[in-house]
Structure 1
Amino acid sequence: MDKIVLEASKRDVIGKKVKNIRREGKIPAVMYGHKFKDTPIVLDAHSTALAMKNVSESTILTIKLDGKEHSVLVRDRQIDFIKGNILHLDFQVVSLTEKLRTNVHIELVGESPAVEEFNALIVNGITEVEVEALPQDLPEGITVDISILDEIGKAIYVKDLPAIEKVEILTDPEELIAITSAVREEAVEEPEEVVEGEEGAAEPEVIEHGKQEEEIED
């Protein structure tokens, strides 16, 4: 991925007044990190939204602030789910010489033969793993080929992930990523057919009101 650079400037506006910043086509954000003072900043909304489309938790970005470049990771993003706009961003300033921990997304690719042959279902487990590495060595994602799931009950665990150079996976090796499961077919009970006149069939009760009344009068 090409280097992503965002131009930023410091901001003094905080609290509810940041609404005015958004109306001006800008995004409020904050930068923080080891040996870096928490700094409220503001970014151009249009260029930032375009840049953020392909950014994951492990993507290293560069923020230019006061003429100096800072390597950062996106730690939080607040989205207006109705309009789809970015409301706020949190950036962690990182050192390229110090290891850090973050989550990396797992992407399932391929097709499971068990789905076609046995009408199986793919049941997903965890969708990301925690890793530790230098910022520049962090993978954008981890691809898992599910074509090895060729029978019912076969599974892929964290321990089955391929080794990644210079990256340590911290998630429990026994955590489930995907497993094939049989589709349960529920039996449908058909109502018993009652044949008219059949021996043993229940006959309707006949209530003879008139006769009973006569017997009572006697």
Structure 2
Amino acid sequence: MNSLNLNKRDVNIPNNAKKIRRMGRVPGVLYGKKINEFLFEVGELELCREIAQNGEHGIINLDINGEDYQALIKDVQRDPVTHKIIHLDLEELDHSQKIISTVPIQFEGEGYLKKKGMVLQKEKDSIKVECDANKLPKYIKININGSDNGYVYRAGDLEVASELSIIDDLNTVIASVTYERKTVSDDMELAEELNNKNK
């Protein structure tokens, strides 16, 4: 299993975070019972590889001065323009306690809706859950095949494993199905076509 190598960050250097980013590295903080608060820097490419594999709220293995740790990704801050990662917050895992994390929702069957001229209005793309660290899923699927106009999906409709508890309100709307709205330009084209036919 790959481990992300974290190096201690020197906070006494002025504008240290900017210098780190220019070198292709990402500043961050790891906090927890054993580690307390550890300010680190990590290679951007290695970090992106781990996030692609485990998701933005997944669990990653760490190597700090030859010692192994596991941590939950709590927050990934990105540059609003370039979308590059500019800061990372990690929480050291305590395997004796349950964790609370955010898991992406994966909607399956949007192709079916498009064929029927309908769209899925997504209100939420993730859900908050509580579970043991080794039971955290990469995503939670919901099948929307067979939906019809007016269908509303709530957090309580998500089928999750018995070892998972949804923390969010089960009545929270996560998506709804509506007919595809035509844009103003579509309406104008239709009006023009009708006009030409009537000439």
TM range, smaller chain: 0.7 to 0.9
2:5 corresponds to = 7
Instruction: State the number of aligned residues.
Output: 185
- Please show how residues 69-218 of structure 1 align to structure 2 within 5 Å: 69-111=68-110, 113=112, 115-117=114-116, 119-149=117-147, 151-183=148-180
Question: Which amino acid is 1:76 matched to?
Answer: D
Question: Which amino acid is 2:169 matched to?
Answer: D
Question: Which amino acid is 1:168 matched to?
Answer: S
Contact 2:110 2:120 in 1 (8 A): no
Q: Distance in 1 between matches of 2:112 and 2:10?
A: 58
The alpha-carbon deviation at position 128 of structure 1 amounts to 1.2
The alpha-carbon deviation at position 106 of structure 1 amounts to 0.4
Contact 2:51 2:58 in 1 (8 A): no
Structure 1 residues 80, 184: CA separation in 2 closer, same or farther (over 3 Å shift)? closer
Question: Which amino acid is 2:146 matched to?
Answer: I
The alpha-carbon deviation at position 115 of structure 1 amounts to 4.4
Q: Distance in 2 between matches of 1:32 and 1:183?
A: 46
Structure 1 residues 178, 9: CA separation in 2 closer, same or farther (over 3 Å shift)? same
Unaligned regions of 5+ residues in structure 1, if any? Answer: 191-218
The alpha-carbon deviation at position 105 of structure 1 amounts to 0.8
- Answering whether residue 38 of structure 2 is matched by residue 39 of structure 1, we say yes
The alpha-carbon deviation at position 75 of structure 1 amounts to 1.4
Q: Distance in 2 between matches of 1:121 and 1:73?
A: 34
Question: Which amino acid is 2:167 matched to?
Answer: L
Q: Distance in 1 between matches of 2:119 and 2:126?
A: 20
What TM-score do the two structures reach when normalised by structure 2? Answer: 0.80
Higher Cα Rg: structure 1 or 2? 1
Question: Which amino acid is 1:133 matched to?
Answer: C
1:208 corresponds to = none
Unaligned regions of 5+ residues in structure 2, if any? Answer: 192-199
**Identity in percent:** 24
What do residues 7-39 of structure 1 show as CA deviations (whole Å, max 9, x unaligned)?
A: 112122356222222333322221102343111
What TM-score do the two structures reach when normalised by structure 1? Answer: 0.73
More off after superposition, 77-86 vs 61-70: 77-86
Contact 1:26 1:45 in 2 (8 A): yes
Task: Give the secondary-structure state (helix, strand or coil) at the position aligned to 1:47.
Answer: helix
Task: Give the secondary-structure state (helix, strand or coil) at the position aligned to 2:10.
Answer: coil
Contact 1:29 1:88 in 2 (8 A): yes
Contact 2:61 2:69 in 1 (8 A): yes
Question: Which amino acid is 1:135 matched to?
Answer: A
